[in-house]
Amino acid sequence: MNPTLEQLFMKVQKPGRYTGGELNSVVKEKGAVGIRFAFCFPDIYEVGMSHLGMKLLYGLFNAQPDVWCERVFAPDVDMEALMRENGVKLFGLESRDPIDTFDFVGFTLQYELSFTAILNMLDLAGIPLRSADRGDGCPLVIAGGPCACNPEPIADFIDLFTLGEGEEVNLELFELYRRHKATGFHREDFLREAAQIEGVYVPSLYEVQYHEDGTVASVTPKDGAPEKVRKRIILDMDAAYYPDRFVVPFIDIVHDRAMSEIFRGCIRGCRFCQAGFIYRPVREKSAETINAQSHALCENTGYEEFSLSSLSTSDYTELEKLLPMLLDWAEKEQTNISLPSLRVDGFSEELAAKLNVLRRSGLTFAPEAGTQRLRDAINKNLSEPEILDTAKKAFSAGWTAVKLYFMMGLPTETLEDVAGIAELAQKIVNCYYYNPNKPKGKGVNVSVSVSCFVPKPFTPFQWEPQDTIEELEEKQRHLRVSVTTKKVSLHWHDAQVSFLEGVFARGDRRLCAVMEEAFRRGCKRDSWSEHFSLQTWLDVFRDLGLDPAFYANRRRDFSEVLPWDHLDYGVTKAFLAAENRRAHESQTTPNCRQSCSGCGAARWKGGVCTNARN
């Protein structure tokens, strides 16, 4: 053990973030493995350890006998300062070896604002930031996850991206790596061959040309790289790998519980939601598989709490079958089942009581928009009567708090829609006071949380201008004066943070220089509000001669070449454009179980696309 590291642990807050040694963490014999993989989450331990995808790939990689996958998180400010002071390089939690000696350094891209944290981690690891500066002795720096669907703003820093679901494509990469390592590894040769694997995008093999106005003119592949890189998906969810154990942290993390994935994708097609498009088609696991996997997880972790994970749990077709199966053992073993984002009205009262559906957080709704017209425009199929009915039920059952989630800055939104948020909240307050059995002496609290809409690639709104910071702040002011009761409490997201997220989300490769310069000037924890500085970013943009509003606030023409057009997530551009037009006409689109809208995901011939429709 490195004595210096041990001494650092005693000087930092929560050393459990860095010590490793948790139950179910995997330690292998160094000499016996051929591939060492550093799975990097560009955020602190408590956030990264809550992430299901990391647990899944950690288990899968370590199930390969010659692969040792370790976890790496972004150190907090105190630890980073000590590491830099003492010349300690970023290390894997399991072996405590510096990760610049590993074969692969893999980042998961969960949100755009973590991009600079990636640069900081590479820097702490002593790995050159730019792909072009890495020699054959450097680890391969790879990345995947939802933000890989527009990886252009970090294309210069990552050797290759994997698009879509990682279970198969990463194992194929390992296989290719084994072959190359056996015959002498050359980075360029490896990358050229890796680009032939479906789902692998090697940005250095694509040349981007720009028009004079800054829009993309063309993206040209070279050395045999494919014209379009298509994402990977797993079709048979019952046969897919799922870990039977999670690493159980010692310190408290954000989501400290066992989790079972019940399906991928979402049938809804809400037009603002990137996840609803890039994970298509919907593919379910059977209730039997979920039950067995869940029970094994609880037994192997000792977790006292367990939850089901998906984009919209109440859309799981076998929920009524699954829940009694789960309750059967969970009750005996004193394990609580928690179900996030559920529609309470779909449950029998008995089942709801057993599941403590309401116990923790009370009632939560995500109407997203304040008026029916705007909810239709974004294809959010939640009607006002549904919301009010459920609220009434909850109030008559004794509940006194409701949480509502909205977005501001949605395409076609007017001040009338903004005021509609306040009106809907007021109607819920009224529901409470019309209830004859309301508890005596108790008031109601309706909490309204409003985020700022950020247009994302591969959604029907990918061409839309994002509201400017000033427009968003004006709407926030309008909402504040529209709320006339103290029973409604308002919370919102910082418009400045959303603006930067909007710039990155639809950025192109020229942002790499901005990213690097901002990192040099100290931006490395943008997802933490106390470390976020928009002014630094604006200065960098100005100094490098780029306009952030070009990326965030500009309406794109349907004919424009988008920076991510050479990536293929199954959903066609023509479908997204049609959905965009429907949005402007406030036309809704049926969900995937009602009828097929021809998005393009049926090309995989699986999941909901081939299921019988009701």
Partner 1 sequence: MREIRIRFRKTGRARYISHLDLTRAMTRAVRRAGLPIWYTEGFNKHPYLTFAAPLSLGFEGLAESMDLRLLEDVPEDEIVRRLNAVLPEGLAAVSAAEPVHKAGELETARYRLTFTGELSQMAAFLAQDAILVEKRTKKGGMKPVDLKPSLAGAVYTPSQDGEGIMEVTLPCGSNETINPALIAAAYNAFVKECTGVEQAADCRVLRTGLFCGENLPFC
Q: How far is the CB of 23 from partner 1 (least distance, A)?
A: 4
CB nearer to partner 1: give 300 or 400: 300
Residue 440: other Cβ atoms inside 10 A: 5
- Cα 12 from Cα 77, distance rounded (Å): 9
CB nearer to partner 1: give 170 or 338: 338
CB nearer to partner 1: give 21 or 324: 21
Q: How far is the CB of 429 from partner 1 (least distance, A)?
A: 28
Going by C-alpha positions, the residue among 44, 42, 39 that lies closest to residue 55 is: 39
* 136 exposure class (CB count in 10 Å sphere: 0-12, 13-18, 19+): exposed
- The vertex-400 CA angle with 396 and 405, nearest 5°, equals 110
538 with 566: CB under 8 angstroms? no
- Structure tokens belonging to residue 357: 């559906």
Spatial neighbors of 436 by CB under 8 A, at least 6 apart, are none
- Cα 614 from Cα 606, distance rounded (Å): 17
Q: How far is the CB of 31 from partner 1 (least distance, A)?
A: 20
Q: How far is the CB of 320 from partner 1 (least distance, A)?
A: 27
CB nearer to partner 1: give 258 or 446: 258
Q: How far is the CB of 251 from partner 1 (least distance, A)?
A: 6
Residue 80: other Cβ atoms inside 10 A: 19
CB nearer to partner 1: give 17 or 524: 17
Q: State in Å, rounded, how far the first CA of the chain is from the last one.
A: 61
Q: How far is the CB of 21 from partner 1 (least distance, A)?
A: 3
Cis peptide before 281 (omega within 30 of 0): yes
- Residues near partner 1 (CB under 8 A) are 7, 9-10, 15-16, 19-23, 248, 250-252, 299-304, 333-334
- Cα 499 from Cα 435, distance rounded (Å): 42
- Cα 270 from Cα 272, distance rounded (Å): 6
CB nearer to partner 1: give 198 or 244: 244
Q: How far is the CB of 302 from partner 1 (least distance, A)?
A: 3
Q: How far is the CB of 306 from partner 1 (least distance, A)?
A: 12
- Cα 508 from Cα 150, distance rounded (Å): 8
User: How would DSSP label each residue in 314-336?
Assistant: GG-TTHHHHHHHHHHHHHHTT-E
Listed in sequence order, the DSSP H helices in 285-366 are 287-301, 319-332, 349-355
CB nearer to partner 1: give 302 or 598: 302
- Cα 344 from Cα 323, distance rounded (Å): 14
CB nearer to partner 1: give 3 or 436: 3
CB nearer to partner 1: give 104 or 306: 306
Q: How far is the CB of 92 from partner 1 (least distance, A)?
A: 14
- Structure tokens belonging to residue 501: 């997220």
Going by C-alpha positions, the residue among 530, 533, 508 that lies closest to residue 522 is: 533
By residue count, the chain amounts to 614
- Cα 591 from Cα 608, distance rounded (Å): 11
CB nearer to partner 1: give 9 or 532: 9
* 577 exposure class (CB count in 10 Å sphere: 0-12, 13-18, 19+): middle
- Cα 594 from Cα 298, distance rounded (Å): 36
Q: Which helix (H) or strand (E) holds 583?
A: helix 573-584
- Cα 425 from Cα 403, distance rounded (Å): 10
CB nearer to partner 1: give 301 or 498: 301
Listed in sequence order, the DSSP H helices in 485-524 are 495-505, 511-520
Q: How far is the CB of 256 from partner 1 (least distance, A)?
A: 8
CB nearer to partner 1: give 235 or 248: 248
- Cα 23 from Cα 468, distance rounded (Å): 47
Q: How far is the CB of 46 from partner 1 (least distance, A)?
A: 12
CB nearer to partner 1: give 298 or 490: 298
Q: How far is the CB of 19 from partner 1 (least distance, A)?
A: 5
| β-strand partners of 23 | 248
Q: How far is the CB of 362 from partner 1 (least distance, A)?
A: 16
